Chains A and B, each alone.
Chain A
Amino acid sequence: MTISNTTVPLEWFLALSAILFGIGLIGVLTRRNVLVIFMSVELMMNAVNLSLLAFSRFLNSMAGQAFVVFVVTVAAAEAAIGLGLVIALVRQKPTVDTRDIEELKD
């Protein structure tokens, strides 16, 4: 008896999720544009969502889907706050380069 009618194996979804997470991590570590760093964080969140949904599907549980709803909520809140911060930051100092944002250094 199979527990799901998806013919794609679970490992494939998890592997894609891991690859996307790695790409997002590289983006966070290498980019210096604050906005692109935010986009990479969103990409990592999507990778996590994918693995949650894959497990949800293969365990016949709706808990994963409910969790994804919450992750999307938090991502929306994070984007709103983060972009508000970026706008406030650019008003202070017209740059989105993380090297130039060092007001908290001293």
Chain B
Amino acid sequence: MPFDLDFQQIVFLALGFVAVVASIMTIIQSNAIYSALFLAIAFFQLAAIYVLLGAEFLAVLQVLVYTGAILVLFLFVVMLLQLREGPQLGDARRWQAIIAWPLGLLLAGELVAIIFSKDVANQMQQGITSGAVTVGLYTPANTVGIGGNVQAVGRVLYTDYLYPFEIASLILLIAVIGAIILSKQIEPFGEEQIIPRIGINLGRTSIVGRKQGEEFAREIAPAIESEHGPRVPEIEKGGQQS
């Protein structure tokens, strides 16, 4: 019976519909701020679906980490950069957009077709009854029995997945250090103090750029000075006044 829906199914369909629409709006909005806000809507729908799946802890985590931290970070960056003119969807690289839409829809359609044609749930049920698929101990009743979803996740996370958990904390530490180093304004010093005064803005570029700047300061700039006179009289680096 295709239209014999119970309450949970109706709720799922509503949540899923809004999630899909919000996701599509995310990728077709030209303004990045609207994209982030639509993505927040999609994430809230997914959090509600997680509750439907009995993963209450991860629903809270979804709202706190994804919408509360990651998306707010995105919004901060979008507003900080203030690059208002968002690139329109596929107005350049038109061939890429033309190919991408059918390919993406084809992939999603294939996945959905495989999921429904293989009858995953029935096969899983058969595997469970034949013993090929092991079923975990955390049935809804057992989960309630040990205190709830948070307790169940904690048990698994701090026993079976203790080492991955520690590695995850290391990843977060590296991410913190990396983010600080990447977004730190490097103070100019030494050669870099001189190079901007010569006139090329190589204050903080890659190593290659810095080497080019050194070469410029060592060879090209003296040549210019010997031809046109000292452009920057206050250079006080030994060997550069020649």
Q: Please classify how large the interface on chain A is, using the bins under 10, 10 to 19, 20 to 34, 35 or more.
A: 35 or more
Interface string of B167-199 (1 = CB under 8 A from A): 010011011101111110000000000000000
Which of A35, A75, A86 has the largest count of B CB atoms less than 10 A from its CB? A35
* B87 CB contacts on chain A under 8 angstroms: 31-33, 97
Which of A10, A49, A70, A83 has the largest count of B CB atoms less than 10 A from its CB? A83
**Knowing A60-B136, A76-B172, A80-B175 touch, does A10 contact B73 (C-beta < 8 A)?**
no
* A27 CB contacts on chain B under 8 angstroms: 26-27
Q: Which of B99, B128, B142, B160 contacts A3 (CB 8 A)?
A: B128
**Knowing A7-B9, A72-B65 touch, does A43 contact B178 (C-beta < 8 A)?**
no
Within 8 A of B (CB), among A66-106: 66, 68-70, 72-81, 83-88, 90-92, 94-97, 99, 103
Give the total of B residues in contact with A, Cβ under 8 Å. 99
Q: Is the interface of A mostly helix, strand, loop or mixed?
A: helix
The answer to whether B53 touches A13 (Cβ under 8 A) is yes
Please list the residues of chain B having a beta carbon within 8 angstroms of any beta carbon in chain A.
6, 8-9, 12, 16, 19-20, 23-24, 26-27, 32, 35-36, 39, 42-43, 46, 49-50, 52-55, 57-58, 61-62, 65-66, 69-70, 73-74, 77-78, 80-81, 83, 86-87, 89-90, 92-93, 96-97, 99-101, 103-105, 107-109, 111-112, 115-116, 119-121, 124-125, 128, 133, 135-140, 142, 149, 152-153, 155-157, 160-161, 164-165, 168, 171-172, 174-176, 178-183, 204-206
